Structure formats: structure tokens, C-alpha cells
A = this chain, B = another copy of it.
Amino acid sequence: MPQTGRPRAFDAEAALDRAVEVFWRQGYEGASLTDLTNAMGINKPSLYAAYGNKEGLFRKVVARYADVEMAYARDALTQATAYEVAAAMLRANVVALTRPDRPAGCLSIQGGTACSTENAGIAAFLAASRLAGEQALAERFARAVEEHDLPEGADPVALARFVSIVTEGQAVHAAAGVTRAQLEQAAEIALHAFAAAAYPDRPVSSTGR
């Protein structure tokens, strides 16, 4: 595989990271190619050669975002118990949504929940990727039932949906400028709910961190 020709003058992965921020802040439709190329430090033909087109770039951006910024979600799944999984997920999510060196909120929602008809696929793609994360969580909770960590009556799918809904609400709230401390407070309430719903027969201790 002979690699000849003029070498690329930019770091494709670093440029992708710049694009992540632009889409994160402005959404798919709100980010113009000019915004993107300016932030990435390249011009349009380079962008098209390296990433295909705007949609191709966006999909690579989402993949990169999932790799880098959503690592906490995969880590959370490795916790020992369902409760710890939920706790890690909710708490780390709040931290990720409010990092001072990142745009507030999450790309998966900021990218676009509604689009023009011609870009409807973008919103659907993002929705599907969110639901995939929810399903992974549901599978982890199902394992917890098998392991008798969660009681037999627990509904792994419903629990995962609840956790996922809270993380999405947190993301919307974070994008509106709500502070990390305020979101953490809400995460603890949600976690309390998770415990009550997951272990319905067990008495619930008082709320609080």
C-alpha cells in the first residue's frame, strides 16, 4: 500500500475535536461549514477529502464524542451493583455536563432534537444512539436481576429508561446554565428514586447525599 502524494498538513483527530465543540455548541443545522472550517483550521476541500461531507463529519464527530466524552457511561456499567451503576451514571453525567472547559450539556441533545425535513435523519440518528445507551444500561440491570442483585420483580428496562430520562433532563438543564451543584442535588433525588423502585420491598433511608 504505497503512501505517496503530498502529506496532510493538519491532524485529522485534533481537527475532529474542534468540530465536536462547534456541533456541541451550535447543533447540526446551526453549524455552518464556515464555522466548522474556521474552528478546525482547514478549508472546505480538505474537510470534504477527510470526512466526506457535512453529515459524514457529523457522524465521525458523534463517534469521537462517544469515545472521548462518554467514557464515563461505559465505566459506570462496570460497577458491582445496579445501584452503584445508577449512582455512577447519574453523578458522572452531571460532571460531564458541566465541565468548565466544555460546552454545557451534551452533544447528543444539543446536536439536534428537531431538524428540517431534509435533515430528519440527523435527529433520528442521535435519538437512536441515545436509546442504544439506554439499552446497554437495561442489559446491565438485567444481569443484576440474574445475579440476584436486583430482586426478581425489578424491571430492568423501566429502570434504565428512568435513569436515561433523568440524564437527558439534566443535559437540557445544564445547557440552560444550571450549575453543577444544582444538578447534583437533583441527581441524588433521582438516585433515591432508583433505589426505591429497584428494591421495592426494602425500606428507604432518608434522602441526602
Contacts and interface: CB of A to CB of B under 8 A. Distances in A.
A37 to B, nearest CB: 15
Given A114-B25, A114-B175, A186 B158 contact: yes
A13 interface: no
B110 A114 contact: yes
Nearest to A28: B114
Contacts of A110: 113-114
A161 interface: yes
Contacts of A26: 114-117
Interface string A186-209: 100110111011001101101110
Q: How many copies does the complex hold?
A: 2
A7 interface: no
B186 A162 contact: yes
Nearest to A166: B169
* Binding site secondary structure of chain A: helix
A113 B105 contact: yes
A170 to B, nearest CB: 6
A146 interface: no
Interface residues of A, number: 61
A41 interface: no
Contacts of A130: 172, 176
Contacts of A69: none
A135 B29 CA distance: 31
Given A29-B30, A159-B189, 12 more contacts: A29-B29, A35-B117, A109-B113, A127-B175, A127-B176, A128-B176, A155-B185, A166-B190, A168-B169, A196-B204, A200-B206, A204-B204
30 contacts: A26-B114, A26-B116, A26-B117, A27-B29, A27-B115, A29-B29, A30-B116, A30-B117, A30-B119, A35-B117, A105-B114, A109-B172, A111-B114, A113-B113, A114-B175, A130-B172, A162-B186, A164-B173, A165-B166, A165-B170, A165-B190, A166-B190, A167-B169, A169-B172, A172-B172, A192-B196, A193-B194, A193-B196, A200-B206, A204-B204
